[in-house]
């Protein structure tokens, strides 16, 4: 009898409790877990945990390392609850790990079918969780539901056709009983969208096309039929305001990237943040950062939701350091511009007008022979996860500093093949560098910059311990002082850190975990 009890307790302890919609709404109040991509619906990546702080961080040491054995690189935000860690890998791999030891409890893998077009790595950025299910996208543009205890497939739904150039890499977002997903493929002339699927059945509930068709509002911003291959992919997870019942999502570049001649007009709703009704997917408002983009400046980075005091007025804002080099704060109830300010070297516009349109500077467009323009193709701030700390009221994000040469070429569209209209290339002997920046989102003023020799690869984590965690290209995980940017701790992981770090509690002890190279490492304070 006694033995029975022990077994029941042990087995039951792993992955027992279900993730409810209520738990997801209250995710911020449970610092022991990490239940969704951005930690909470607002996309803060901020934890209330403070055992690891500016004083103790020096004692941070590795606890266990999980070697995935895959050939690609991990860029997943792991989920943590009920003594389990769930992490997705590249090329349709995923793992359920024992949180205490890092031992693999299950492994999901699906062979990649032929014909998947992936511009930028066979990556995946993580799971979403609801009930006893985990949800992830596969590269071949499908959405799968897995059983959290076994990794077994429960259902799989095709999002769209890979022959058209669609692929999928972003972590889904659970809103009520819907699994909201974005897609990739704007380098292949896809027509972008955001989808929502029923979590129980995998049946599609709604689709919002990020590129409107002819005759629809915004459809007249594309010339004749360029909207059919207009890009506007949605390859980074959005955020959700439960009170307003609005989903916020960034959209990618128009297609073809560097040749705008074939798509005269603003090219709505590419390079924009869109606010959608969570139940219907209907557009509530949009804000386009880069009308008629010619530099591949997707507006995809996390649309972080923060309540700010701007010029004395309290306002519900959505904030984003955009790839085009400007930081934006918008009123998230209506999409009106509150703040726009450059955070890095910008040569294409000398400011943003009150209506949100950039004041363009001549001579910055791509040409056959090449045009130098700043920032570089990746921005600015690209997709790498940002963080918002209510402790400092500052917004933190990694940036690439520098410029590229932008080329343009005429290009005929062929379905499923690269459709970029040329490229942006590094400038010889003037390579781009990197930084982690802290910025006051109420003013757009940069508070500090931690300069890095290489452009950033990793996202960020903010904690109540007064710390900002970041990785870098050379394989360091580091902790910076959230108020000064001073480095306080570092560890060389041996693999490029592309994923953002997370933090959680196990048996009352704070851990930091990060996927790096093809492995995942956890850290905790060593016993003094």
* From 13-21, 149-157, 423-431, 503-511, span contacting another protein (CB under 8 A): 423-431
Is residue 78 within 8 A of residue 126, CB to CB? The reply is yes
By DSSP bridging, strand 46-47 and strand 460-463 are: parallel
Single residue of 487, 495, 505, 506 touching another protein by CB under 8 A: 487
Token digits of residue 52: 């690891």
Query: What is the nearest approach in angstroms of another protein to the Cβ of residue 33?
Result: 31
Interaction of residue 428 with another protein, rule CB under 8 A: yes
Query: What gap in Å lies between CA 204 and CA 206, rounded to an integer?
Result: 6
Query: What is the nearest approach in angstroms of another protein to the Cβ of residue 431?
Result: 8
* From 79-87, 215-223, 277-285, 474-482, span contacting another protein (CB under 8 A): 474-482
DSSP 3-state assignment of 103? coil
DSSP-derived secondary structure for 8-45? HHHHHHSS-S-B-HHHHHTGGG-TT-B-STTSSTT---
Query: What is the nearest approach in angstroms of another protein to the Cβ of residue 355?
Result: 35
**Any idea what the Cα angle at residue 206 is, between residues 205 and 210, rounded to 5°?**
155
- Given the complex with another protein, which of 32 and 112 has the nearer CB atom? 112
Q: Determine how many CB atoms are found less than 10 A away from the CB of residue 304.
A: 27
Establish how many alpha carbons lie within 13 A of residue 34's alpha carbon, considering only the half-sphere containing its beta carbon: 34
Q: Under 8 Å CB-to-CB from 366, ≥6 apart: which residues?
A: 258, 259, 294, 295, 406, 407, 408, 421, 422, 424
Token digits of residue 134: 């985990």
* From 124-132, 173-181, 293-301, 451-459, span contacting another protein (CB under 8 A): 451-459
Is residue 379 within 8 A of residue 399, CB to CB? The reply is yes
What are the distances in angstroms from CA 59 to CA 46, 491, 494, 505?
21, 11, 19, 17
Within residues 25-84, the interface with another protein by CB under 8 A covers 71
- Given the complex with another protein, which of 273 and 452 has the nearer CB atom? 452
* From 114-122, 345-353, 389-397, 520-528, span contacting another protein (CB under 8 A): 114-122
Q: Between 118 and 137, how does the x/- string for binding to another protein read (CB under 8 A)?
A: x-------------------
Interaction of residue 6 with another protein, rule CB under 8 A: no
- Given the complex with another protein, which of 14 and 119 has the nearer CB atom? 119
Single residue of 213, 219, 370, 495 touching another protein by CB under 8 A: 370
* From 237-245, 308-316, 450-458, 501-509, span contacting another protein (CB under 8 A): 450-458
Of the candidates 160, 266, 296, 298, the residue annotated as catalytic is 296
Would you call 293 a catalytic residue per the annotation?
no
Interaction of residue 474 with another protein, rule CB under 8 A: yes
Query: What is the nearest approach in angstroms of another protein to the Cβ of residue 92?
Result: 10
Query: What is the nearest approach in angstroms of another protein to the Cβ of residue 39?
Result: 25
Interaction of residue 367 with another protein, rule CB under 8 A: no
What separation, in Å, do the N-terminal and C-terminal C-alpha atoms of the chain show? 40
- The sign of the dihedral angle between the CA atoms of 142, 171, 281, 255 is negative
Query: What gap in Å lies between CA 219 and CA 208, rounded to an integer?
Result: 14
Interaction of residue 426 with another protein, rule CB under 8 A: yes
Single residue of 478, 497, 519, 525 touching another protein by CB under 8 A: 478
Single residue of 364, 490, 495, 506 touching another protein by CB under 8 A: 490
Query: What is the nearest approach in angstroms of another protein to the Cβ of residue 428?
Result: 6
DSSP-derived secondary structure for 106-147? EEEE-PPPTT---SS-S---B-EEEBTEEEEEETTTEEEEEE
Count of residues touching another protein (by CB under 8 A): 37
Q: Determine how many CB atoms are found less than 10 A away from the CB of residue 428.
A: 7
- Given the complex with another protein, which of 298 and 331 has the nearer CB atom? 298
Token digits of residue 16: 């027992």
- Given the complex with another protein, which of 412 and 507 has the nearer CB atom? 412
Single residue of 34, 327, 476, 523 touching another protein by CB under 8 A: 476
Where in the sequence numbering do the catalytic residues fall? 296
Contact residues toward another protein (CB under 8 A) are 71, 91, 111-116, 118, 369-370, 407, 409-412, 417-418, 420, 422-423, 425-426, 428-431, 452-454, 472-474, 476, 478, 487, 490
């Amino acid at each position: 009898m006694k033995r029975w009890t022990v077994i029941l307790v042990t087995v039951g302890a792993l992955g027992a409790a279900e993730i409810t919609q209520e738990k997801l709404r209250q995710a911020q109040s449970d610092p022991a877990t990490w239940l969704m991509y951005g930690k909470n619906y607002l996309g803060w990546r901020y934890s209330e945990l403070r055992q690891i702080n500016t004083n103790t961080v020096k004692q941070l040491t590795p606890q266990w390392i999980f070697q995935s054995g895959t050939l690609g690189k991990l860029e997943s935000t792991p989920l943590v609850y009920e003594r389990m860690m769930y992490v997705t890998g590249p090329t349709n791999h995923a793992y359920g790990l024992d949180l205490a030891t890092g031992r693999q409890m299950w492994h999901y893998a699906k062979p990649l079918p032929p014909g998947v077009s992936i511009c930028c790595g066979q990556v995946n950025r993580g799971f979403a969780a609801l009930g006893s299910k985990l949800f992830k996208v596969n590269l071949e543009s499908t959405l799968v539901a897995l059983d959290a205890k076994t990794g077994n497939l429960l259902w799989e739904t095709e999002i769209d056709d890979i022959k058209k150039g669609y692929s999928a890499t972003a972590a889904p977002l659970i809103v009520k009983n819907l699994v909201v997903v974005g897609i990739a493929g704007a380098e292949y002339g896809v027509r972008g969208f955001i989808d929502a699927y029923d979590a129980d059945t995998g049946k599609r509930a709604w689709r919002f096309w990020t590129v409107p068709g002819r005759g629809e509002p915004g459809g007249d911003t594309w010339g004749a039929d360029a909207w059919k291959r207009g890009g506007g992919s949605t390859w980074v997870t959005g955020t959700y305001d439960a009170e307003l019942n609005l989903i916020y999502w960034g959209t990618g570049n128009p297609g073809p990237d560097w040749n705008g001649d074939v798509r005269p007009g603003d090219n709505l709703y590419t390079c924009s943040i869109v606010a959608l009704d969570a139940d219907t997917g209907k557009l509530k408002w949009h804000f386009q950062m880069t009308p008629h983009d010619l530099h591949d400046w997707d507006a995809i980075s996390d649309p972080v939701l923060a309540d700010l005091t701007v010029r004395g007025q309290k306002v519900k804002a959505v904030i984003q350091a955009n790839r085009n080099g400007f930081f934006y704060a918008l009123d998230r109830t209506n999409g009106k511009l509150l703040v726009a300010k450059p955070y890095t070297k910008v040569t294409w516009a000398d400011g943003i007008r009150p209506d949100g349109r950039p004041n363009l500077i001549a001579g910055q467009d791509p040409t056959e022979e090449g045009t130098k323009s700043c920032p570089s193709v990746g921005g600015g701030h690209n997709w790498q996860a940002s963080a918002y700390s209510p402790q400092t009221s500052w917004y933190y994000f990694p940036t690439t500093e520098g410029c590229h040469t932008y080329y343009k070429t005429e290009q005929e569209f062929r379905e499923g093949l690269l459709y970029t209209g040329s490229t942006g290339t590094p400038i010889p002997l003037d390579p781009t560098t990197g930084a982690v920046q802290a910025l006051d989102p109420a003013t757009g003023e940069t508070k500090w910059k931690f300069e890095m020799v290489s452009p950033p690869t990793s996202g960020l984590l903010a904690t109540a311990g007064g710390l900002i965690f970041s990785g870098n290209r050379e394989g360091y995980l580091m902790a910076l002082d959230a108020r000064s940017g001073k480095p306080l701790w570092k560890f060389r992981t041996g693999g490029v850190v592309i994923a953002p770090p997370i933090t959680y509690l196990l048996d009352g002890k704070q851990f930091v975990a990060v996927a790096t190279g093809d492995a995942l490492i956890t850290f905790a304070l060593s016993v003094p």
